């Protein structure tokens, strides 16, 4: 029997900040295709499933909404690095905007469309990055470690995958419950 990997809290994760800039295209592809992969995973689930909260954890809709809200921060941080700022823009570590946004009142396919639209803006920004900009670094405020553009892209792609794993876990746990009319 294969044991599942333990779910590591996002704030407990460590990140390699020595990603070779030659990996730019590979990491860009991961980021670019993420909304489509997520949509494919979620497209068949009804609102009854995607809006259920388990304990204090976010629902599927809230996870997607959180990803939408962060795209603006990601773009600001990429721009911070490109502009040579010593520190990246800070995040709201309490995720207040996500908690207050009422994502469970929204339709999931509209949320995934919005995520796709926001990510497309981020991809356009990244495709405009010069080779010189790839060498610049700014310090990530929470991790207190310098990152270049590719390091931070890797961070964002990891954040995407973290939330996809969380959503898969929610769905798998709910599918085993005797909730009528899935």
pLDDT of res. 46? 86
Helices 108-127 & 60-82, crossing angle to 10 degrees? 10
pLDDT of res. 38? 96
What residues contact residue 34 under an 8 Å CB cut-off, 6+ apart? 119, 157, 160, 164
- Taking the model in full, what pTM does it have? 0.88
Decide: 81 and 148 in contact? Cβ < 8 Å.
yes
| pLDDT level of residue 181 (50, 70, 90 thresholds) | very low
Query: 146: helix, coil or strand?
Result: strand
- What confidence tens digit (pLDDT) does each residue in 5-20 have? 445 565 556 666 677 7
User: Percent of the chain, pLDDT > 90?
Assistant: 71
| pLDDT level of residue 173 (50, 70, 90 thresholds) | confident
Mean pLDDT, the chain, rounded, equals: 88
Q: Which CATH architecture has domain 28-46+58-172?
A: Up-down Bundle (1.20)
Q: What's the average model confidence in pLDDT over 154-162?
A: 94
User: Percent of the chain, pLDDT > 70?
Assistant: 86
Decide: 68 and 95 in contact? Cβ < 8 Å.
no
pLDDT of res. 91? 93
Q: What's the average model confidence in pLDDT over 69-75?
A: 98
What residues contact residue 82 under an 8 Å CB cut-off, 6+ apart? 129, 133, 136, 149
Rg of the Cα trace of the chain? 17
């Amino acid at each position: 029997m294969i044991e599942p990997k333990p779910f590591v809290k996002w704030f407990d994760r460590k990140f390699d900040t020595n990603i070779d800039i030659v990996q730019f295209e590979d990491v860009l592809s991961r980021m670019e295709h993420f909304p489509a992969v997520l949509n494919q995973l979620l497209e068949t689930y009804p609102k009854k499933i995607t809006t259920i909260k388990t304990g204090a954890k976010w629902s599927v809709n809230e996870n997607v909404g959180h990803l939408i809200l962060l795209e603006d921060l990601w773009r600001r941080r990429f721009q911070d690095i490109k502009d040579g700022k010593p520190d990246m823009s800070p995040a709201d570590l309490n995720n207040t905007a996500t908690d207050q946004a009422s994502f469970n009142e929204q339709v999931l396919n509209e949320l995934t469309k919005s995520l796709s639209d926001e990510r497309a803006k981020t991809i356009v920004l990244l495709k405009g990055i010069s080779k010189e900009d790839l060498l610049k670094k700014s310090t990530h405020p929470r991790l207190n470690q310098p990152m270049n553009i590719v390091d931070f892209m890797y961070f964002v792609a990891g954040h995407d995958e973290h939330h996809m794993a969380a959503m898969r876990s929610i769905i798998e746990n709910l599918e085993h419950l005797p909730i009528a009319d899935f």
